Structure 1
Amino acid sequence: MARKIQTPSLSKYTINLTANARNNPDDYKVIGRDKEIAQVIFNLSRKTKNNPILLGEAGVGKTAIVDGLARLIALNQVGEKLKNKQIRVLQIATLGQQDVVRKMLNIIKECKQTKGRNILFIDEIHTIMGADTSNGAMDLGDVLKPAMARGEIQLIGATTFDEYDKFIEKDPALERRFQQIVVNEPSRDDAVKVLFGIRDNYEKFHHLVYTDEAVEACVDLSLRYIGDRQLPDKAIDLLDQAGSIAATKGQEIIDVKDIALVLQDMKGIPVTNILKNDNSRLKNLDKKLAKVVKGQAEAIKTVTDAVTIAKAGLQDPTKPISSFLFLGTTGVGKTALTLAMTEVIFDSTDNLIRIDMSEFSERESLDRFQDLLTVQVKRKPYCIILLDEIEKACTAVHDRLLQVLDAGILRDKRGRSTSFKNTIIIMTTNLGAELIVDNQIYEANTAEKFLNLTPNEIARKQDAFKKEVNMELTNIFRPEFVNRIEHKVIFNMLTRDIIKQIAYNNLATLSDRMAVHGFKLLYEDDLIDYLADIGTDVLNGARPLARCIEEEVSAPVAMYIMRLSDDPTNNIHTLKATVVGEKLGGQLQSHLKGSRKVKFTGIIDD
């Protein structure tokens, strides 16, 4: 009878995953990774280069694939070449800080003595690079390379793309010993299958029941609100955390609200917002936007129609929710409409990704732009992307965006794709501003003639104008880029009447901020008229008005609040704004304030 080979180093520094799987096979069951497990088996069964390395983002399930393989080996459900193999998990940290190379050499020696019966699994395998390099000693990568080259050991590695690029790829001799297996994040439907597959284990552990709706909510809500992590890990965390909380309370059933409460604690998002579905969010979308954005009824209608169609599932599912190019002069509400859309559709402006495209005017900035965009979209997959002043970006950036507009994805050099299918893309430009100004001034001056036109004649004039704008765009952008943008939205210039409406909104916002500090602002129409007189500028939109309100109202009010708040005997918490003085030059000279100014009077508390 052959003497049993002793493996003290393997016993001390590794965990026998196959033995664990044999004792508890249900704990090692893996859902939806049959393809990847099969690839690992094929690679391990090769004569040469039989060391697979699993590459994928943290949380996608790389370790689970090895768990699944260990279970198949334990249940004798693999071919002859892997029969009776033992998968040994080696955490580099367990080797400690002293004599790391010697310990690794002993592990390699024991693997060799057992004639390939043991397969090492090193998670975060990039940590072998640089280990024990003090005093000029070699790292573990140098130790493993000759053993792998001679076929003395077999190992499975796992790491992220970034760590692979940073450590493994820089050592070509080590890199060519591995066979790459890419582990992508599972789709929403696959992640749901994974959670249904493991639900029973968590129910037994927490002694409760998850409803089907709660399980699906773990996936759907983690997709919407946890953008910086991957499926299925982030969804499993919600499942487990909800179970842990419910178990401590003696709760026996977990539903969708319990999952939402976990997210509320995790992200600070109110449960009512989390549980709100898209139908309730989009109800009266046009009216909600019109409360914030004034004078842009046509733009609001275009945006509302496009988003409603998309949310009803009638848009192309391979593309972003919708794409827009906002055209118009400065200050007319392009950014304001974008912010309002984000607030209404996603409950918070935190879901807005805003990029100043003037920073990417050189071709060399292309990779930086792609990295910036994809990283942010991975963190916030449900979002609105605002590409400000798109015309200032280089043509290479425009060409890269064609991928996004056409296929709803953006691929990097490794072929990894970032999905944009839950995003709304808005680009702004000042191109064609002069054309828009001239056209709107012409229409204003010939308003009576337009009243006599038939609907068909008006439509022909509008089509002709849009063609002119399109020609202006193709002077800068490639035609294929312009044609990929679904909606070109032309914003109106702001007349004095619209400026008055905006002034009402801005003063209401100021009043709300004052109320937080215990103060109140009273004013009448004379203040609105005064602000409209000095703040109307058709070429610069609402920006002059914002400056006027700041100088004439906000700054003086702030001084009053600071002075009154410092007085412990203060009994004035209401300020009344009155316009005094005379206007010069009659009604048409709107920018001449004359001797007028805003006077503030404190009203003693009742």
Structure 2
Amino acid sequence: MAQKIISRDVPEKFFNTRLVSLDINALVAGTRFRGDFEERMLGIIEEIKEAGNIILFIDEIHTIVGAGGAGGALDAANILKPALARGELRCIGATTTDEYAEYIEDDAALERRFQPIFVNEPDTKTTISILNGLKGRYESYHGVKIKKSALNTAVKLAQRYIVDRHLPDSAIDIIDEAASKKTVSFGQLNKGATGVGRKLEQLSQEKERLLKEEEWNRAMSVRDQEQKYKKKLKSLVGEQVKTYSTAVDEADVTEIVSTMTGIPIEELTASEAQKLLELEKQLAKKVIGQNHVLQQVAAVLRRNRVGLRDPNKPTGSFIFLGISGVGKTLVAQSLAEILFDDPENLIRLDMSEFSERHTVSRLVGAPPGYVGYEEGGEIAEKLRRKPYSVILLDEIEKAHPEVFNILLQVLDNGRLMDGKGRVTNFRNSIIIMTSNVGSHLIRKEGDIGFAKASKEGRAREAVFKDISQKLTGELHRSFKVEFLNRVDATIVFRPLSKETVRKIAKLLIKEAANRLREEHKMKLRVELAVYDLLVEKGFSEEFGAREMRRAVTQTIEDPLSEGILAEKFKKGQTIHVKVKNKEIVLK
């Protein structure tokens, strides 16, 4: 507004208007006796009345309530009320909606003297325009140039990844930090230049000492050395200037956002597209026998990430159905590792712990006045620290119905308000819910089971299709339609075949061999008959891959551990895994 008054971009009535800011804290400071504060306030009001062209601006205007009112004296709000009511004082105040509700609305007489105007968050175009206006100021302060592309990147990344703050504040902060880091980096001379600088200081001090002692010849010699070191320093710094850019660009902005959010830089750049394109291939290295699952998951994530979805919804939401040990949890773990470069970016919650109504408070936090209010919600706190996460809700059917009401809000709006009124954003997260609903249908013998199905691929495919339809029907009987409609995909996992379990055995042994090579510098050689015996021992339609993992642990990893501890197997050796008398032996 002040800028518009200066540039005469206001009605003629305001051409000579002065906008004056009032610091309430400075006004209260030093008022020791009763009446001091009132005297100051009345003096200000009188000066404004006499001037006739002053508009008063009070930042954090809610602070006038109670300011200076100690010892029974009137506070600033009550002193201003008469002047405001008579129209002798034109005043603009700035505060937040929460503080307006807490302080201003409680005082009806004060509230009616102000007209509230709600300032909304600016859009992308407006924010870029604001940053362009501030660019010169930050360039002057930090002594660097800021590219326009850096401004665009700052706005785009702030809007997408810094979800707990608003534009333009978040984007301005990014530009400020990027410029500051660039200045600090440029100011740090290389080691050679730093050493030359120290030597120059020593020579300068030595020269001053010799001049005071009237050692003219020696002083001239030191001066000559000083000139040589000055040229050397200039050369070193000049080389650094040539190879170092002082302009803040997109890379600098991306690095700052990565530091602020904890999101890897790769996730903020175009390489994410490459990850999504190769997602099935990368997942297939970890998840065996569920290609249809990987294809559906990758298709949903690609579609959502390119913007063909509601931007306020999570990146992806899935319900995984299937018996235990078929890879439901493994898919979630693999997604966290592949997409977010960190297996720790998996938030796992066992929904059987949320079966009672009161446990819902663990998700969103307890309401005010209840135990645990200060701790916040479990899922909200974890996601606030790691906004780029896979959220795994295990055995969702065991959760209390109130939990589903919360999930409806998350799946629909991509946000959740906790008990402290803080909003947690789910837009950058992937939500995976696993369920054992209808798993008895897969185990059941008969027409819909695999036990009596033909071993031909087409027959097994027909049986699986029939089971999938029955599971979907069971799911609709267990969950509300409005909940299921908000989920991107419901996917049924296949029971594992013997061939799939054999591949899993190879993968588990390969992982064990890699650990053995890294930790103990030993090699592992496994003959084909070992895999046949493992499939015979470790195949279970009921327990899936977990039974195979137990078999590998008991027959290979346990004997390996005992042999290493007993020094039977030593560093640099090759350990052969064979079958002897229908038992697995290590030599």
TM-score greater than 0.5 by the shorter chain: yes
Q: Does 1:502 find its partner at 2:504?
A: yes
Rounded Cα–Cα distance in structure 2 between residues aligned with 1:508 and 1:538:
23
CA contact (8 A) 1:242 1:258 kept: yes
Residue correspondence of structure 1 range 308-457 to structure 2 within 5 A: 308-316=302-310, 319-364=313-358, 369-370=363-364, 372=377, 382-408=388-414, 420-438=426-444, 442-443=449-450, 445-447=452-454, 451=458
Shift of 1:327: 0.7
Is 1:121 the counterpart of 2:128 in the alignment?
no
Distance 2:36 2:584 in 1: 83
Matched with 2:471 is 469
**Cα drift, residue 294 of structure 1:** 1.0
> What is the alpha-carbon distance in structure 1 between the residues aligned to residue 519 and residue 150 of structure 2?
41
Offset at residue 282 of structure 1 (A): 1.4
Q: Which runs of 5 or more residues in structure 1 are unaligned?
A: 1-68, 565-569, 584-595, 602-606
What letter corresponds to residue 483 of structure 2 in structure 1? F
- The percent of aligned pairs where both chains have the same amino acid is 31
Query: Which amino acid in 2 is paired with 1:199?
Result: K
Quote the residue 1:146 is aligned against: 78
Q: Which residue of 1 aligns with 2:234?
A: none
| Residues 190 and 464 of structure 1: CA distance in aligned 2, closer, same or farther (over 3 Å) | farther
Q: Take 1:98 and 1:471, find their aligned partners in 2: how far apart are those partners?
A: 75
Query: Does the CA contact (< 8 Å) of 1:325 and 1:489 recur in 2?
Result: yes
After TM superposition, give the deviation of residue 218 of structure 1 in Å: 2.3
Q: Counterpart of 1:442 in 2: which secondary structure?
A: coil
User: Is residue 65–residue 75 contact of structure 2 (8 Å, CA) maintained in 1?
Assistant: no
Distance 2:35 2:556 in 1: 75
CA-CA distance at 1:295 after TM superposition: 1.4
Indicate the larger mover: 218-227 or 470-479: 218-227
Residue 195 of structure 1 and its aligned partner are, at CA, apart by: 3.1
**Cα offset, 1:405, TM superposition:** 3.4
Larger Rg: 2
Name the CA shift for 1:562/1:484 in 2 (closer, same or farther; >3 Å).
same
Residue of structure 1 equivalent to 2:232 = none
Return closer, same or farther for 1:99/1:398 CA change in 2, 3 Å cut-off: farther
- CA deviations 1:512-545 (Å, max 9, x no partner) are 4455545334141455555544443322223344
CA drift at 1:434: 1.1
- Counterpart of 1:488 in structure 2 is 490
Paired residues, number = 503
Q: Structure 1 residues 552 and 126, CA, compared in 2 at 3 Å: closer, same or farther?
A: farther
Q: Is the 1:527–1:579 contact (alpha carbons within 8 Å) kept by the matching residues of 2?
A: yes
Evaluate the alpha carbon distance shift between residue 269 and residue 393 of structure 1 in structure 2; reply closer, same or farther with a 3 A threshold. closer
More divergent stretch after superposition (350-359 vs 320-329): 350-359
Answer with 183-192 or 482-491: which moved more: 183-192
Contact 2:441/2:471 (<8 A) preserved: yes
1:481 CA displacement:
1.8
Query: Tell me, what secondary structure is at the counterpart of 2:485?
Result: helix
Instruction: Give CA-to-partner distance per residue, 1:405-436, whole Å, 9 cap, x none.
Output: 34555578999976644443322111111123
Deviation at 1:319, TM superposition (A): 4.3
The AA in structure 2 aligned to 1:576 is I
Paired with 1:574 and 1:227, the residues of 2 have a C-alpha distance of 54
How far did 1:496 drift? 3.7
| Counterpart in the other structure of 1:56 | none
Offset, 1:243? 2.7
One-letter identity of the residue aligned with 1:500: R
- For 1:466-486, what per-residue CA distance to the aligned partner results, in whole angstroms no more than 9, with x for missing partners? 443233123321122223323
- Residue 541 of structure 1 is aligned with which of 536, 544, 549? 544
**8 Å Cα contact 1:395/1:477 also seen in 2:** no
Aligned residue number for residue 23 of structure 1? none
Task: State the distance in 2 between where 1:106 and 1:573 align.
Answer: 89
Q: How far did residue 304 of structure 1 move?
A: 1.8
Q: Which residue of 2 aligns with 1:288?
A: 282
Matched AA of 2:491: V
Verify: 1:214 aligned to 2:208, yes or no: no
Q: How does 1:214-293 map to 2 (within 5 A)?
A: 214-223=150-159, 226=162, 229-247=165-183, 248-249=185-186, 250=241, 251-263=245-257, 271=265, 274-293=268-287
Cα deviation per residue 1:225-277 (whole Å; 9 max; x = unaligned)? 55555443333333233333444534243332333444566667665554343
Taking structure 1 as the reference length, what is the TM-score of the superposition? Answer: 0.66
What CA deviation, in whole Å up to 9, does each residue of 1:312-362 have, x standing for no partner?
A: 444455644433211112222112112222333333345444444344434
SS at match of 2:540: coil
Structure-1 separation of matches of 2:572 and 2:27: 66
- Whichever residue aligns with residue 234 of structure 1, its letter is S
> Quick one: distance in 2 between partners of 1:508 and 1:120?
70
Q: Shift of the alpha carbon at 1:289?
A: 0.8
Q: SS of 1:445's equivalent?
A: coil
Contact map agreement 1:536 1:544 (CA 8 A) in 2: yes
The root-mean-square deviation of aligned C-alpha atoms, in Å, is: 4.8
* Whole-angstrom distance in 2 between the partners of 1:228 and 1:317: 16
Cα distance 1:351–1:92, how it changes in 2: closer, same or farther (>3 A)?
Answer: farther
Is contact 1:384–1:425 with CA below 8 Å preserved after alignment?
yes
Q: Tell me which amino acid in the other structure corresponds to 2:544.
A: G
Flag structure 2 segments of 5+ consecutive residues without an equivalent: 187-240, 366-376
